[in-house]
Structure 1
């Protein structure tokens, strides 16, 4: 299991936003740019792209010399316009989570009134070209904060990526333990062990306005099935963990693939199935890939997540954040990355059964993901940030490199990072390609990503929710929050000194 949750105790509803009024989407003309639509292998050189009211209005040959009244001009010479990237698997830390935490190290921190903490995280995502994010669940209080953030960004009152907020539904671990050491708690919608409570949990998620459902692995067979089926009836996609194996009420592999989710949240989930039943046998790769392909599920591999966990296990330290991004990790997150908050550096983590197979599991997951790609299983880019070592935003670029290294062509990596995610989370809002009529969530790159996928890190600016933010403007807005960050660090230092 890789999912990394902040583990903060939450419950209170966040205070109302004091954000500024909505900013209009406006009109822009990107001149003489190379367009990479990403839904095909096309490359459209020397194009003029007209963006109006949050959508791509026209894509024309540069020779047309189009003039658009009231439009601001963006110089696209030597640059490449690609779809905005989507992180299909994150666990966003929020100001609401900090406020509600019972952890003495962070509880009661003075966060001000301007949602500065949330704004910095959203800006760092945009800085990396991430214009869409799927949050795969937290507790009630953190989800409440994210639903508020989603509304602020959609309304144009906050700069940030399009947020998709998932409801995590899980049963008590004791309900699927092979050798239970305690009685199974009574079923309730918050932790269901019956089909009825699982259905009610999904229905409540629909009433609350969640975007999708995340089934988790400690659901028994019938509850898991009920949640997946009710989610489909409610119009939800499901992306999460495969059910646990090995107990009387657990699923088996045939059941899991016979009642599929929309998407599997990690290739490591498939490696877990292989480890339990066949001890990571290479012969099982083809069988698993065929089962996924036949089921119709897509997969978010999160290879960089498993690689980072292996790195911590082997080297006993958090791997370095890529150059230039270390400063983007806020003080609260960094505290969670250090012992004792970081469970991946604990002796208990090292002592767990099967820990010595983590490296083999990463190799297995890479080969399996390549086999899924060869079978045309749709892949998306996800990171599990902010797992220790994986900063919000830049980790998306790291995962794109991982997919390139297992064999995907650069345009296929771009497709996984954009179009496939749009098809998964937001199919009614268009394809996500750089095409006329599509929503203007775009990245303008200074170098060709088809020549070298690492060029996805060379960002000139982004269109987010139809608003143009050049990199200089993103950096300026981030700099406005540096004083807040320093104040947060000072508060944490003072608490640490007082504790000693």
Structure 2
């Protein structure tokens, strides 16, 4: 459960190079040559002929060995269709073919002699899963997220742009980090030590009331985008996971959140919101997704459906509070769980797109499969829970064409599980193999 507080106008005047920001963020994230080498030690790789886009480094990115996954039941989350005794061919970081043995015969022959074969007989083969709300601040965090099967993630913010640095890794070192959609710094009144992440943030230290004026909110949003954030994270309410905070108190109004959305210029804004007023204001301000959303009203749900606003309930972050040793948090967990479950059912009925996000922080990672199970327990069918962690989340991240399905040309992200995801809401917790960016992260096949 996420217990952290994330405390860590005019166009930015400074021209601090983005590569300088990335270098500092990489150091904070624990990214080093030695660390990456250790992570890749068991994954066969060769040097690519030419460097990919990325830092101006006089070397070449790694490329992965071709893989053939055969014998399992290949599931398409978009349709619920399944291919028994199917074959998936991965080559060059992409899906080269998927289908029956006859349909993939040519693709298999093309990689013969240089591909590793994995026998998935008796198991189910899926696209890599997507976690739409994580807080990864270090290489160890990214590694733990991958182990649970989430090969693509959306950041819920980081304290010093570590997520921006992690986003650069996959094109150079496959299998080290999930595909990251970074959010940069949390747009919140109190930036705390995150002010030290960027010299351009120094003027915000002078604000006695914190970052609350619309021009300052816009300024912070623009700094985030300039440093490499692809989405923006803000809040309507305080945190439920901290007993001293009241999650129904209003932090930002519709006008304040609207200033953030406007400054984001098309980058999706995800909004931490609990109270009915906070959720409704965020939706009317134009945010891309509501995070948590416990006390959303029926009217707001219908407005979300009309606008196409996504809903990330973060079920585990809420339900797990019930087991807390802190009486305030335990009471919140017990009170909020059935309310959030009802909100999920109402959102489903209204046609709101529901996505899976764990709100994991650091190495305290909830596997994305657990979040899918909790969504199923709240009222989604097993297929709908699978879609929440694949196609729906990929659409939210703007990667629906290449992530969330195993089709030719899609990214080479695969999970193999030990149970039928079309019949068992807990199937995504039973991960046996993870392939990220074509690299074999873990397997027992």
TM-score, normalisation: structure 2: 0.75
Query: Match for residue 231 of structure 2?
Result: 212
State whether structure 2 residue 219 is matched by structure 1 residue 200: yes
List alignment gaps of at least 5 residues for structure 1: 95-117, 174-183, 246-250, 275-283, 317-344, 474-500
Residue 33 of structure 1: how far off its partner (Å): 2.5
State whether structure 2 residue 270 is matched by structure 1 residue 295: no
Query: Match for residue 265 of structure 1?
Result: 291
CA 1:411–1:221 in structure 2 vs 1: closer, same or farther (change >3 Å)?
A: closer
State whether structure 2 residue 166 is matched by structure 1 residue 149: yes
Contact 1:172–1:185 (CA under 8 A) maintained in structure 2 = no
Written as runs of structure 1 = structure 2, the 5 A alignment for 1:294-333 is: 294-312=306-324, 316=325
Count how many residue pairs are aligned between Structure 1 and Structure 2.
372
CA distance in 1, matches of 2:331, 2:293: 18
CA distance in 2, matches of 1:404, 1:149: 31
Query: What's the secondary structure of 2:387's corresponding residue?
Result: helix
**From 392, 406, 413, the counterpart of 2:365:** 392
Query: Match for residue 125 of structure 2?
Result: 81
Written as runs of structure 1 = structure 2, the 5 A alignment for 1:132-171 is: 132-139=152-159, 141=160, 143=161, 145-156=162-173, 159-167=176-184, 168-171=186-189
CA distance in 2, matches of 1:52, 1:12: 33
CA distance in 2, matches of 1:253, 1:308: 22
Residue 158 of structure 1: how far off its partner (Å): 5.6
More strand by share: 2
State whether structure 2 residue 143 is matched by structure 1 residue 123: yes
Task: Give deviations 1:375-414, integer Å, cap 9, x for gaps.
Answer: 2211111112239xx94142x2221111111221211111
Query: What's the secondary structure of 2:434's corresponding residue?
Result: strand
Contact 1:4–1:91 (CA under 8 A) maintained in structure 2 = no
CA 1:209–1:158 in structure 2 vs 1: closer, same or farther (change >3 Å)?
A: same
Query: Match for residue 229 of structure 1?
Result: 262
Residue 155 of structure 1: how far off its partner (Å): 1.3
CA 1:164–1:305 in structure 2 vs 1: closer, same or farther (change >3 Å)?
A: same
Query: What's the secondary structure of 1:444's corresponding residue?
Result: strand
State whether structure 2 residue 445 is matched by structure 1 residue 412: no
Residue 356 of structure 1: how far off its partner (Å): 4.9
Contact 1:133–1:162 (CA under 8 A) maintained in structure 2 = yes
Query: Match for residue 378 of structure 1?
Result: 353
Contact 1:380–1:417 (CA under 8 A) maintained in structure 2 = yes
Query: What's the secondary structure of 1:148's corresponding residue?
Result: helix
CA 1:24–1:221 in structure 2 vs 1: closer, same or farther (change >3 Å)?
A: same
State whether structure 2 residue 32 is matched by structure 1 residue 17: yes
Residue 369 of structure 1: how far off its partner (Å): 0.8
Contact 2:391–2:400 (CA under 8 A) maintained in structure 1 = no
Residue 438 of structure 1: how far off its partner (Å): 1.0
Residue 371 of structure 1: how far off its partner (Å): 0.9
CA distance in 2, matches of 1:152, 1:237: 22
Residue 199 of structure 1: how far off its partner (Å): 1.9
Residue 210 of structure 1: how far off its partner (Å): 0.9
Task: Give deviations 1:126-157, integer Å, cap 9, x for gaps.
Answer: 22111122221132x2x2x3322222233116
Query: What's the secondary structure of 1:290's corresponding residue?
Result: helix
Task: Give deviations 1:406-425, integer Å, cap 9, x for gaps.
Answer: 22121111110111111111
CA distance in 1, matches of 2:272, 2:6: 18
CA distance in 2, matches of 1:32, 1:259: 49
Query: What's the secondary structure of 1:24's corresponding residue?
Result: strand
CA distance in 2, matches of 1:414, 1:297: 19
Query: Match for residue 60 of structure 1?
Result: 99
CA distance in 2, matches of 1:5, 1:252: 20
Contact 2:273–2:293 (CA under 8 A) maintained in structure 1 = no
Task: Give deviations 1:443-471, integer Å, cap 9, x for gaps.
Answer: 01233222323222322311201223342
CA distance in 1, matches of 2:152, 2:79: 21
Query: What's the secondary structure of 1:67's corresponding residue?
Result: helix
**From 116, 129, 142, the counterpart of 1:72:** 116
- Alignment RMSD: 3.1
Task: Give deviations 1:317-341, integer Å, cap 9, x for gaps.
Answer: xxxxxxxxxxxxxxxxxxxxxxxxx
**From 419, 425, 430, the counterpart of 1:453:** 425
Query: Match for residue 436 of structure 1?
Result: 408
List alignment gaps of at least 5 residues for structure 2: 9-22, 38-46, 48-60, 192-203, 237-250
Query: Match for residue 4 of structure 1?
Result: 3
CA 1:376–1:431 in structure 2 vs 1: closer, same or farther (change >3 Å)?
A: farther
Query: Match for residue 269 of structure 2?
Result: 238
Query: What's the secondary structure of 1:382's corresponding residue?
Result: coil
State whether structure 2 residue 338 is matched by structure 1 residue 363: yes
